[in-house]
Amino acid sequence: MKLSLASVSVDLDPLRCYHHIHGLGPVPEQLTEVVLQRALPRFLEVFDRLGIQATLFVVGADALDGMAGRPLLRESARLGHELGNHSFGHPYELSRLTESEIEHELLACEQILDELRVGTPGPCGFRAPGYELSPQLLAVLSRLGFRYDSSVFPCPPYYLAKLLVLAKLRLSGQRSGSIIGSPWQQLGPSQPYRPALAAPSRRGTAPIVELPVAVTPWLRLPAIGTFLLLSPTLRQVLLHGMTAQPFFNLELHGIDLIDAKQDGIPAELVARQPDLQVPLWQKQAALVEVLRFLRDHAQVVPLAVAAQRLGQLLA
């Protein structure tokens, strides 16, 4: 099957998430909203230039009344981008919470998104912090009427790399805010499927469609922004691999279009995030190249549209 459908999504994780992952202290006051303030307009400019409607996964707590990101998100919705739910407070352990705690996180975010959306109110799409889908999270999503989930990232190489990073942090006496999910999820389907309610990494009959984040066939290399924007050689390998599968669910992060120097990112974070060591102009050019590739090979639609189309095929 050749590539024919693609979606582009951006997880708008605030800088505090990265400080949390790397066990760093609090984010300087002036940088708490830097991702929405500086990176989101850069994404909107590129999407506009290439005529792409994307899905923006929003952390509800970053879009409260009076916050700088709120009008930008409202403008994004007006431009035709989909606003997806990325939980209210971005707890990395979300999938391990009780059903009522999960429901609270999802509904609190959904309420804010509905104030910003144009047209049809939600719930529609969800992505979990930290790429983990559990039976209780799937149960809540199904009960609340979400039409798709895009939390699964079935990527053994990424999983192993994360294990190593967390082990290294622990050895140096620091603790990461991130968690290690189930290894079984790494071996589940890598193209859209209907999950089993009791075991989300297996095929089943849940009312919701799972849209896994992109990995290449066979080796399951991570075809996400963090790696696609890092080096031209890696980009060619990943993009070439992705042409052999029907759906390319490209996941980006807000931080992908942050410039360490221009945006004043703390040196201790830059040292731990290789993508922050690449200058913005280089990442912007790489992103344009990736999006052009998608446009040349596939129809690019928001995840909600992809879920609807693919869901009919999976019924």
Residues near Zn ion, by CB under 5 A: 11, 13, 129
Complex with Zn ion: residue 89 or 204, whichever CB lies closer? 89
Complex with Zn ion: residue 151 or 245, whichever CB lies closer? 151
In angstroms, what is the minimal distance from the CB of 37 to Zn ion? 17
Complex with Zn ion: residue 13 or 263, whichever CB lies closer? 13
Q: Cβ of 190: how many Cβ atoms within 10 Å?
A: 22
Residue nearest Zn ion, Cβ-based: 13
Complex with Zn ion: residue 13 or 259, whichever CB lies closer? 13
In angstroms, what is the minimal distance from the CB of 307 to Zn ion? 19
Complex with Zn ion: residue 104 or 297, whichever CB lies closer? 104
In angstroms, what is the minimal distance from the CB of 297 to Zn ion? 27
Complex with Zn ion: residue 272 or 295, whichever CB lies closer? 272
In angstroms, what is the minimal distance from the CB of 253 to Zn ion? 7
In angstroms, what is the minimal distance from the CB of 129 to Zn ion? 5
Whether the Cβ atoms of residue 290 and residue 250 lie closer than 8 Å to each other: yes
In angstroms, what is the minimal distance from the CB of 13 to Zn ion? 4
